[in-house]
Amino acid sequence: MEGENSGESTIPNNEGHKEHHTHHVVHKHAKKEGLTIKKQDLWMIATCILAVLLIISVTLNIVLYTNNSSGTGKTGTNTQGTKGNNDQTLGSNTSEVNKVKLDFYVMSKCPYGTQVEDAIKPALDKIGNSVAFSINFIANDNGDGTFTSLHGQTEVDGDIVNLCAMKYNPTKYMDMIVCMNANAGAIPGNWESCAKDKSLDVESIKACFEGQEGKDLLSTSTKKSKAIGASGSPTIYLNDKPYSGGRTENDFLRAICNAFTDAKPAACSAIPESKKVNVIALNDKRCKECDITGLVSSLKSIFPGLQVKEVDYSSAEGKTLLTQSGVKYLPAMLFDQTVEEGEGYAQVQKYLVPAGTDYTSLMIGASFDPVSEICDNKIDDTGDGKIDCEDADCTGALECREEKKNNLQVFIMADCPYGKKAVEALKGVKDNFGNATTYEIHYIASENADGTFTSLHGTYEADEDMTQLCALKHSPDKWFDFVYCRSIEGIKGTDWKDCAKTSGIDATKVQACFDGAEGKSLLREDIKIAEGLGIGASPTWLANNRYQFSGIDSETVKTEYCKYNTAQKGCEKTLSSDTGGVAAGGCAS
């Protein structure tokens, strides 16, 4: 869930950025085959990050953004073809009464939002005269003329300039939006060149964007998103009902055409039939976290003609399939050659790997080994006379780790927006419990063959991990203040020495550590902890060295921690639940 989403993940999901999502956007880390995701989180993430059609390892694909207050119910009826609204009009020869309503609620820089905008544009070119189309934006109105959004101020500005284009160019604004989406990272800086290229009214848009008018438009737009309860990008409504179908051009065309109650546009008769795609869902009923209901639903949105055959490993057919396919971890989605003819093939092609001679397997971050010992079922699964934690297969498993009372650990990627929120949450928890609790921050990254390091958001993020570990080593009393400062002030493109100065850490020693072998050694050893536990989602919390949970606000973290430390003073207090408008989620590599 970008999923960072939640979404930056890997599996097409039709729900959006909750950065999965849910963009829940959960970032998980590479291990085993494809991307490995902690099995306890696997399907929660898959349902979320699978939303966008393309981020395939399972993680949540709607980018979730929580406004300060929520609302339910769909309000307002958008008209089309006049200035002053945000509806797409491609003509006026169809009466408004006979039009199908299609409403998008998005974040302008969310990859899942831009994806559906790009897909709907050619559909609108074909039947736009018959569609009352609108776009509204998901952000938080601070009430003082400023706004916050998941992807920062540039996204707020992108929202505003898009709304201005909608107002002053109601029949052509989608041309500008799709042009900007081609380089979404440059939004909003590319709006003017796109507006000129597509012959929009640049001067009117500019005056609106730079003045109060644009802010007023965004304030109105966010109210509409809040009224409908839209927190995931994209949230889509078709004729005032939630839409969860496919997101290709043809998917939208079929859905719109099926929504007409009377005569349909001529283009509806030219939509091709969906191609049949066969997939075997190989699973194991012993796996408690392997529910693939959401995964199958998302895949059906990518392949409308999907035919699913479910096979359990316990059967003779299941064991034969496991051997023939060469798959090691379940669940496995095994496609035959028909997938190459499916409409969504281009979206998932790079996430398909050979599985024997007859199948390709979708990389979904599966982690359940059907031939290994299950560590918490009180059964000798491998027949070696050793049960659960007695078996060597369970070495390092969370269920078998030594419990450390009053210990709280969090695993993050230093520049993951959810990881930074977790650091903010940790400060509230730390202020509450003080020295009665021990605290640890560990990092999620990987070491390359040449001794360098990489992380989901880039090499700079691994460098930041190393810098923070060096701060811990050489200024342990001031270390957390430094990490907190970095999380608040920002990491990419900023100088860490500014926070070093305000927090009082020894910048000279930290720099020497970073430049030398010491920093690399610290990071190398630290990332082994997450790798050994199969943790790839930022943030992931551990209470007492054993009990895993998620959260990005102090109250949630305190509540989960206190489940395992019930007698600790401070558990009775209520801490802040404020997340700055960001919904719970994570980054999954």
pLDDT of residue 63: 45
CATH superfamily of 87-268: Glutaredoxin (3.40.30.10)
Kindly indicate the confidence band of residue 38, based on its pLDDT and cuts at 50, 70 and 90: very low
Lowest mean pLDDT among 5-9, 49-53, 149-153, 263-267: 5-9
pLDDT of residue 589: 63
Determine the Cα–Cα distance for residues 40 and 46; give it in Å rounded to an integer. 11
pLDDT(19) > 60: no
pLDDT of residue 248: 86
Nearest alpha carbon to residue 246 among 351, 64, 123, 86: 123
Mean pLDDT of 160-176: 98
* Higher-scoring residue by pLDDT: 52, 134: 134
Kindly indicate the confidence band of residue 533, based on its pLDDT and cuts at 50, 70 and 90: confident
| Buried/exposed code over 355-364 (b: 16+ C-beta within 10 A; e: otherwise) | beeebbbbbb
Q: Is 266 exposed, middle or buried (0-12, 13-18, 19+ CB in 10 A)?
A: exposed
pLDDT of residue 89: 42
Judge contact between 43 and 298, C-beta under 8 A. Answer: no
Residue type, 220: T
User: Scanning the structure block, which residue is given the tokens 């940790």?
Assistant: 426
**Does 87-268 match 407-588 in CATH topology?**
yes
| pLDDT tens digit sequence for 213-252 | 999 999 999 999 999 999 889 999 999 999 988 888 998 9
Both tokens assigned to 416 = 């993951």
Kindly indicate the confidence band of residue 96, based on its pLDDT and cuts at 50, 70 and 90: low
Residue type, 69: S
Mean pLDDT of 14-37: 35
Mean pLDDT of 521-546: 93
**Where are the chain's structural domains?**
87-268, 276-362, 407-588
* Higher-scoring residue by pLDDT: 588, 276: 276
Question: Average model confidence (pLDDT) for the chain?
Answer: 85
Kindly indicate the confidence band of residue 5, based on its pLDDT and cuts at 50, 70 and 90: very low
pLDDT(11) > 60: no
Both tokens assigned to 457 = 């958001």
pLDDT of residue 97: 56
| Domain boundaries 276-362, corresponding CATH code | 3.40.30.10
**Rounded to a whole number, what is the distance in angstroms from the first to the last CA of the chain?**
11
pLDDT(525) > 50: yes
Beta strand 332-335 pairing with 276-283: antiparallel
pLDDT of residue 302: 86
pLDDT(41) > 80: no
Please give the sequence-ordered ranges of beta strands (E in DSSP) within 466-546, or none if there are none: 537-538, 540-543
CATH superfamily of 407-588: Glutaredoxin (3.40.30.10)
pLDDT(52) > 70: no
pLDDT(9) > 70: no
Lowest mean pLDDT among 2-16, 340-354, 474-488: 2-16
Both tokens assigned to 569 = 């003073």
pLDDT(32) > 80: no
pLDDT of residue 585: 73
Both tokens assigned to 189 = 């800086």
Kindly indicate the confidence band of residue 584, based on its pLDDT and cuts at 50, 70 and 90: confident
Judge contact between 455 and 487, C-beta under 8 A. Answer: no
Which alpha helices (H) appear in 109-172, and where do they start and end? 111-127, 153-168
pLDDT of residue 82: 35
